[in-house]
Amino acid sequence: MQAPNNVLEWIDNNSVFLILGHKDPDGDCVGSQLAITRFLNRIGKTAIPLSKGAFKTTEVKSYEKFFTKNITETELNRLQNPVIIVLDTSTQDRLGEFAYLTDRYPTLVIDHHIAGEDFGTLKWEEPSAPSTTYMVQSIIETKTGSISQEEAFFVFYGLATDTGFFRFLEEGSAHVFKSAARLVDAGISPRNLYLATQKGQTLKSRKWLGIMLSNMEILCDGKFVIFSETMTIRNEYPDGDRQTDLLYNIVLDTDQCEAIAAIREEPNGGCKVSMRSKKYLDVASIAKSFGGGGHKHAAGFETKAKLESIKKTIKSLFEQNCK
Ligand SMILES: [Mn+2]
């Protein structure tokens, strides 16, 4: 992939960058923010990665220390003509508390999702890219012909986490492996990087898995599964002890399972619902009907409904697809 000329020129023409990502960052968000920061520093530019977090998951926790969490008016005024690069989101409200900065300074948006929102002074959206870091890698390589080991680590981090360590890639993705090969050539160890993604996992999280698995409700001979997480469970198992992706995958990887819904009770009495599907069920359209959103295979929504009542609704939606 070749980074577009107008993106490269934008980087050439500016020297002070505020690097933003979405709130509740994931591995790709953190990886792309830190890779581009290191790269801009390497070519003699100032780059400040900003993020309020929350750095909840083990995947991102250890990178929290690299981010600036607050920037004062005085600090902003001291910067010489700053510009903004937004990574891994193309909607302004996903930026959380730093969104106001994009009303103030010219903004370049780089993302592999297409939101269709009119946002940013300049926008590079590439839905065919497997991760935002993949796009950042092409900027780095197009501009300098090489990538540093540290930059390569952060790029690989985003690529590996967004592709489930390459498991989600389909036919025609040889170019992704070629890019990854260049990162390994730059000196990174995929094994060490995998261990880094698991850092901070607790034995208690395995007990949480056990509780969630023993409480799961199986519908349509295992085609659909519903998890319920009450406040009682949540209070006992803090965020760092919840391994939701692992839970979903353990179940979705079985022969029978097509989709799961995980209902989580919230302190306000309502619920958050996350859904995943494997092949055909479009969970995004279900989420949309409740005012949420997402992709065909991963979507979610929030509701004021109580756990038992939303569970009943989802049960009947799933059962309509039993066949
Ligand atoms: Mn991403």
Between the CA of 198 and the centroid of ligand 1 the distance, in Å, is 18
Cα 221 from chain centroid?
Answer: 32
Helix, coil or strand: residue 217:
strand
269 Cα to the center of ligand 1, angstroms: 31
113 C-alpha vs ligand 1 centroid, how far in Å?
Answer: 8
- Residue 203 CA to ligand 1 center (angstroms) comes to 28
pTM for the full predicted model: 0.84
Q: How far is the CA of 114 from the centre of ligand 1 (A)?
A: 11
Contacts of 156 (CB under 8 A, 6+ apart): 31, 133, 180, 183, 184, 188, 190, 193
CA 259 vs CA 54, 185, 232, 291: distances in Å: 28, 38, 25, 20
- Gap from CA of 142 to ligand 1 centroid (Å): 21
Query: Which secondary structure element, helix H or strand E, spans residue 265, and what is its range?
Result: strand 259-265
User: Could you give the domains of the chain?
Assistant: 5-198 (3.90.1640.10), 203-319 (3.10.310.30)
Dihedral angle over CA of 216, 163, 119, 65, nearest 10 = 90
The helix (H) or strand (E) run that includes residue 224 is: strand 224-229
Give, for all 323 residues of the chain, the pLDDT tens digit.
Answer: 889 999 999 999 999 999 999 999 999 999 999 999 999 999 999 999 999 989 988 889 899 999 999 999 999 999 999 999 999 999 998 999 999 999 999 999 999 988 778 899 999 999 999 999 999 999 999 999 999 999 999 999 999 999 999 988 999 999 999 999 999 999 999 999 999 988 888 999 999 999 999 999 999 999 999 999 999 999 999 887 888 989 999 999 999 999 999 999 999 999 999 999 999 999 999 999 999 988 899 999 999 999 999 999 999 999 998 87
Please tell me the distance between residue 294's alpha carbon and the centre of ligand 1 in angstroms.
Answer: 13
Whole-number pLDDT of residue 10: 97
Token look-up 């025609």 returns 172
Strand arrangement, sheet containing 217-219: 217-219, 224-229, 259-265, 271-277, 298-303, 293-295
Ligand 1 centroid – CA 88 distance (Å): 5
pLDDT mean across residues, the chain = 95
Q: Tens of pLDDT along 78-88?
A: 999 999 999 99
- ∠ CA 141-147-149, nearest 5°, is 160
Residue 319 Cα to ligand 1 midpoint, Å, equals 32
Residue 270, pLDDT score: 97
| Distance from Cα 289 to the centre of ligand 1, integer Å | 24
Give the per-residue pLDDT at 210: 97
* pLDDT for 144: 95
Residue-wise pLDDT for 154-208, tens only, equals: 999 999 999 999 988 999 999 999 999 999 999 999 999 999 988 888 999 999 9
Please give the structure tokens belonging to residue 33: 């923010």
Distance 225 CA to ligand 1 centre (A): 26
Length of the chain: 323
Which pair of tokens denotes residue 124?
A: 């590079």
pLDDT tens per residue, range 127-140: 999 999 999 999 99
CA of 240 to the centre of ligand 1 (A): 21
> What spacing in Å lies between the alpha carbon of 318 and ligand 1's midpoint?
28
pLDDT value of residue 56:
82
Is residue 173 packed enough to be buried (19+ CB in 10 Å), middle (13-18) or exposed (0-12)?
middle
Q: How far is the CA of 124 from the centre of ligand 1 (A)?
A: 14
Phi, psi of 300 (to 5 degrees): -165, 170
Q: How far is the CA of 134 from the centre of ligand 1 (A)?
A: 9
Main-chain phi, psi angles of 200, to 5 degrees: 90, 0
